[in-house]
């Protein structure tokens, strides 16, 4: 029997204030619908993080929680080992910011070291980015897919040469009001939208699963068409 695909939900108590844990449930369920065994492993600070996860999910959180998460993940070390071994990291908002080189916190903009998994830096922006966001993601096959979600962040993220944007902004702020959204570096993907974003954008979920399994996944038929109807409504709403 093959072992279940391990999806690791990292520090939900610190990085889970926007329902982003739903992303890990979406990943597991989309595998199960295809007859592939999956487990979601919930890991809290102080628990050892497994080094053999297929996908690690991190979500949104407050400034101080971000600092604690970096400290605990650095002390633990397994996330770095997992990334070196080819694991996928999917990080939303605060999770995205902590994957970078540095980010700032609080009114005094104290600079904090990130995990260094993405060549990005985050500093406080001119205005807080709050609202629906719609972006255009170019998939590996060259086709375009709209990503929708809700952004809520004060930090603005700037990409260095080793990171590439995940998508182009059609509505909203994204990384820094510069037309880009999110960052990709190897198999580490950071993005701002909540929602949770993988429930709103199943093709992105399947992309992460495809990366983790090293193969393209077959479409989901009827489930897919129900999701597409909901997606159309959501995208039309954002564009109003």
If we measure between CA atoms, which residue out of 83, 84, 81, 172 comes closest to residue 134? 172
Total chain residues near ligand GLN (CB under 6 A): 11
Question: Hey, is 130 helix, strand or coil?
Answer: strand
Q: Residue 103 corresponds to which tokens in the numbers above?
A: 């980010």
Q: Angle formed by the axes of helices 202-213 and 222-239, to 10°?
A: 130
Smallest separation (angstroms) from ligand GLN to the CB of 227 = 25
153 touches ligand GLN by CB under 6 A:
yes
From residue 92 to residue 111, the character string flagging contacts with ligand GLN as x (rule: CB under 6 A) and all else as - is -xx--x--------------
Smallest separation (angstroms) from ligand GLN to the CB of 152 = 5
Instruction: Check 99, 153, 194, 207 and give the catalytic one.
Output: 194
Question: Hey, is 211 helix, strand or coil?
Answer: helix
Residue 99 — φ and ψ, nearest 5°?
-70, -15
From residue 172 to residue 211, the character string flagging contacts with ligand GLN as x (rule: CB under 6 A) and all else as - is ----------------------------------------
Give 22 or 61: the residue with its C-beta nearer to ligand GLN. Answer: 61
99 is catalytic: no
192: left (phi over 0), alpha (psi -120 to 50) or beta: alpha
Which of the residues are catalytic?
93, 194
Q: Given the rule CB under 6 A, which residues bind ligand GLN? A: 60-63, 93-94, 97, 152-155
């Amino acid at each position: 029997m093959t072992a279940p695909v391990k999806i690791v939900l990292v520090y939900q108590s610190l990085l889970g204030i926007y329902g982003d844990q739903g992303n890990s449930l979406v990943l597991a369920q989309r595998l199960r619908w295809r007859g592939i065994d999956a487990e979601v492993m919930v890991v809290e600070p102080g628990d050892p993080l497994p080094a053999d996860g297929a996908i690690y999910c991190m979500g949104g959180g407050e400034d101080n929680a971000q600092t604690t998460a970096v400290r605990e993940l650095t002390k633990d070390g397994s996330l770095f080992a997992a990334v070196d071994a080819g694991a996928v990291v999917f990080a939303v908002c605060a999770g995205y910011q902590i994957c970078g080189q540095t980010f700032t916190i609080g009114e005094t903009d104290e600079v904090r070291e990130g995990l260094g998994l993405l060549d990005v830096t985050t500093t406080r922006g001119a205005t807080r980015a709050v609202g629906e966001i719609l972006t255009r993601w170019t998939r590996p096959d060259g086709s375009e897919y709209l990503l929708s979600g809700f952004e809520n962040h004060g930090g603005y993220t700037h990409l260095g040469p080793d990171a590439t944007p995940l998508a182009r902004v059609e509505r909203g702020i994204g990384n820094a009001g510069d037309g880009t959204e999110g960052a990709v570096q190897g198999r580490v993907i950071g993005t701002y939208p909540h929602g949770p974003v993988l429930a709103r954008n199943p093709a992105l979920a399947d992309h992460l699963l495809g990366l983790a399994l090293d193969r393209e996944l077959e479409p989901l038929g009827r489930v897919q068409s129900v999701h597409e109807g909901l997606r159309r409504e959501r995208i039309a709403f954002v564009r109003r």
